[in-house]
Amino acid sequence: MSKDRPPEVSKRRYASFLDAHNVDGSLVQGKASAVLEAVLTDEDNQPLHGQTIYFTVSGSGKDLGNAPTNHDGIAKLESGQKILDLQTTVFGAASGYEAEFKGSANFTASKAHGRINATF
Whole-model pTM: value is 0.81
The answer to whether the CB of 66 falls within 8 A of the CB of 74 is no
Domain ranges of the chain: 16-112
pLDDT, tens digit, 9 for 90 and up, residues 56-106: 988 878 888 999 999 999 999 987 655 545 455 555 667 889 999 999 999
Domain 16-112, CATH class in plain words: mainly beta
Alpha helices in the chain (DSSP H): 86-95
Percentage above 70 pLDDT, the chain: 73
The conformational region for residue 45 under phi > 0 = left, psi -120 to 50 = alpha, else beta, is: left
